[in-house]
Amino acid sequence: MGLDVKILHVDDVKSIRIYVQEILKIGGILDVKSLSSGTAAIEELEKNPQYDLAILDARMDPINGAEVLQYIRKKENLKRMPVLFFTAESVKEEVVTITKLGVQGYLLKPTTTSKLLSEIQYVLGRNLDFDFADKEPDVDEMMDDFVSEMEGFNEVAQKALDFIKRDMVGHRKIFRIFSDKMFMIRGTAQQLGLDHIVDITYLAEEIAVKAEVTDKRPQLRRVIGCLWDAMSTTKYLLEHREEATTEEQKILKGRMDDILRVLGGPQEAYSSSEIDNLLKKVDKTLKET
Query: What is the distance between the alpha carbons of residues 251 and 214, in angstroms, rounded to a whole number?
Result: 24
List pLDDT tens digits, range 164-185. 989 988 998 999 999 998 999 9
The pLDDT of residue 285 is above 60: yes
Average predicted confidence (pLDDT) for the chain: 90
Predicted TM-score of the model (pTM): 0.90
Tell me which CATH homologous superfamily contains domain 6-137.
Response regulator (3.40.50.2300)
Buried b (16+ CB within 10 A) or exposed e, 8-21: bbbbbbbbbbbbbb
Residue 205: phi and psi, rounded to 5, are: -60, -45
Q: Report domain extents, the chain.
A: 6-137, 139-262
List pLDDT tens digits, range 106-142. 999 999 999 999 999 999 998 887 776 578 888 777 7
Tell me which CATH homologous superfamily contains domain 139-262.
HPT domain (1.20.120.160)
What band does 286 get if pLDDT is binned at 50, 70 and 90? low
List 83's β-bridge partners, or say none: 54
Query: What is the distance between the alpha carbons of residues 181 and 88, in angstroms, rounded to a whole number?
Result: 12
